């Protein structure tokens, strides 16, 4: 239960959202034309960033339901 309490804290949720946005932005920059990175890898990085961001949204919703 301690891990759940830590994950549901507002600073953790905000940090996840910021990290997710940063990772998605890096993936988007890597997709630009002229980049030396394989587009498949760039898309994967971008999707991982989106996933982290949506994870923070889900945790935020759960925290709201639990009244944290």
Cα 2 versus chain centre, distance: 22
Q: What's the average pLDDT block by block, 10 residues per block, for the chain (68 residues)?
A: 86 96 96 88 96 96 88
Residue 49 has a pLDDT of 97
Q: Read off the pTM.
A: 0.85
Residue 55 has a pLDDT of 96
What six digits make up the tokens of 32?
């630009």
Sign of CA dihedral 20, 22, 24, 26: negative
Say if CB 52 and CB 19 are below 8 A apart.
yes
Residue 65 has a pLDDT of 92
């Amino acid at each position: 239960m301690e891990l759940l309490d830590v994950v549901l804290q507002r600073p953790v949720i905000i940090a996840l959202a910021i990290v997710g946005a940063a990772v998605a932005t890096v993936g988007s920059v890597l997709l630009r034309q002229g980049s030396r990175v394989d587009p498949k890898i760039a898309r994967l990085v971008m999707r991982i960033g989106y996933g982290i961001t949506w994870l923070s949204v889900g945790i935020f919703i759960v925290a709201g339901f639990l009244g944290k």
